[in-house]
A and B are shown apart, each in its own frame.
Chain A
Amino acid sequence: MSELERELSALGGELFPPAPDLASAVAGRIERAAPAPLRARRLTLLAATIALVLLTTAMAIPAVRHAVLGLVGVQIERVKTLPAASSSCPLGGGGPRVSSVSEASQRAGFAVQLPRGDAQPDAVYLGLGTRGGGVTLVYLSGGALRRQAVLSEVKGNLDYIYYKKVASDRHTKVEYLGIRGDTAVLLSGARHVVSYAVSDGRVVSYRTCLAGTTLLWRRAGVLYRLESELPKAELIGIARSVGR
């Protein structure tokens, strides 16, 4: 090996950020996304399509849209069998990445709030699906929140909805909480399925993903969704801190 090659090799050791521990996250996702037999998958796909149509219909009726656990923009349904999750569920939600929180605020049209005073995310994305209208902040393990966390914020309109499905035969705990006087719901235990639907009379984005422990709350016209395997008390602490 030449001197130049030795220098290049030495340089390689300095270029990369520390690698995160992926094993538990990968194992969790695999365990919950075990492929169903083909026939069952086809039936699930059919069921998902039907659910999409039903969801579109439900969202067109204001009374139904509002009757969601007192938490506008969220619908939770207990189902017999979870629908198949998409094989592509990026942490950032699939929307375009932007360079900063201030750019996200500008483009999304509202002031994005950070937790714990000013905990800077490792990445910022627009939209919940493929369109703008919300913002998703990704915190990596070892980042400002110490554990991997995804915080999504959607400003006040009803065009977005988190449509969550909880399998009746699995141990997903659904708790209703009050956080600083706001209604909140915490889903923990077994993973659940979340769909992101955007509607202004038509569904423009629909993705079904597996989700872990998630806290949802609404404050000052903004719907927040925090997904992380942090302990419950820390999740609540983060929720309390957002916007303060």
Chain B
Amino acid sequence: MRAYESLVREHQTIAFRTAYLITGSAADAEDVAQEAFIRAHAALGRFRRGAPFRPWLLAIVANQARNRRRGDGRRGELAVRVAAAPAGEQRALDHGLIADERRGELLAAVNALPEHERLAIACRYFLDLGEDETAEVLACARGTVKSRTARALQHLREGLGVRDV
């Protein structure tokens, strides 16, 4: 059990964030992530030896989170929301964070994307998942992830008036 606890600690942040992305609620995300780890433990016998654990776990998390979302009757919108910066907080570009105004524009543009594109962007950039892991979370083919991400980036560039170099 100690080994599994270590595994949980190693992956709990990405599991929680993935669940939060889909459910939009910290309480639901905590609950979903817990359930997912328990289900993963119960299914360890079916886990392919030598395969990476994280994509397999994230597929379980995403599935649980989608079920929770469906159960709550919530559909349509991706959970990622622009959290308003605390009053008076100034985020500086030289600290590696994007300025508040630009941040707001960018998030508004992401939220305006069709859901499947928003999820692709969220997985690839907000969660920093690879294409294979994103495919597991979104339950689609890797090629679909590539095309959705490319389309989403194009839509964002158009929406933001960005000329990429």
Q: Tell me, in angstroms, the Cα distance from A195 to B52 when the chains sit together.
A: 38
Is residue A182 within 8 Å, beta carbon to beta carbon, of the partner chain?
no
For window 42-94 of A, CB contacts with B under 8 Å fall at 87-88, 90-92
> When the two chains form their complex, are residues B34 and A25 in contact, meaning their CB atoms are under 8 A apart?
yes
Is residue B112 within 8 Å, beta carbon to beta carbon, of the partner chain?
no
Give the Cβ gap from A228 to chain B, nearest Cβ, in Å: 14
Give the Cβ gap from B84 to chain A, nearest Cβ, in Å: 11
Closest to A26 in B: B37
Is residue A175 within 8 Å, beta carbon to beta carbon, of the partner chain?
no
Give the Cβ gap from A79 to chain B, nearest Cβ, in Å: 23
Q: Tell me, in angstroms, the Cα distance from A74 to B88 when the chains sit together.
A: 50
Closest to B153 in A: A4
> When the two chains form their complex, are residues A15 and B80 in contact, meaning their CB atoms are under 8 A apart?
yes
- For B98, give its contact among A11, A20, A96 (CB under 8 Å): A11
User: Using Cβ atoms and an 8 Å threshold, which residues of chain A touch B9?
Assistant: 21, 23
Is residue B27 within 8 Å, beta carbon to beta carbon, of the partner chain?
yes
Closest to A96 in B: B72
> When the two chains form their complex, are residues A140 and B121 in contact, meaning their CB atoms are under 8 A apart?
no
Chain B residues with a Cβ closer than 8 Å to the other chain, count: 52
User: Using Cβ atoms and an 8 Å threshold, which residues of chain A touch B30?
Assistant: 20, 22, 91, 140, 148
Is residue B25 within 8 Å, beta carbon to beta carbon, of the partner chain?
yes
For window 188-215 of A, CB contacts with B under 8 Å fall at none
User: Using Cβ atoms and an 8 Å threshold, which residues of chain B touch A14?
Assistant: 83, 97, 103
User: Using Cβ atoms and an 8 Å threshold, which residues of chain A touch B81?
Assistant: 15
Known pairs A20-B16, A21-B9; A27 contacts B27 (CB<8 A): no
Is residue B157 within 8 Å, beta carbon to beta carbon, of the partner chain?
yes
> When the two chains form their complex, are residues B128 and A12 in contact, meaning their CB atoms are under 8 A apart?
yes
Known pairs A10-B98, A123-B27, A140-B30; A22 contacts B125 (CB<8 A): no
> When the two chains form their complex, are residues B42 and A35 in contact, meaning their CB atoms are under 8 A apart?
yes
> When the two chains form their complex, are residues B5 and A9 in contact, meaning their CB atoms are under 8 A apart?
no
Please name 14 further chain A to chain B contacts, defined as beta carbons within 8 Å, in addition to the given A12-B125, A90-B68, sorted by A numbering: A2-B165, A8-B121, A8-B156, A9-B128, A10-B96, A11-B107, A12-B122, A23-B6, A23-B12, A25-B34, A26-B37, A29-B38, A30-B41, A97-B28
* Pairs across A and B, CB under 8 Å, 22 listed: A2-B164, A2-B165, A4-B156, A8-B121, A12-B126, A15-B80, A15-B126, A19-B12, A19-B13, A22-B8, A22-B12, A22-B15, A23-B8, A29-B34, A29-B38, A30-B1, A87-B39, A90-B68, A91-B30, A96-B72, A123-B25, A140-B27
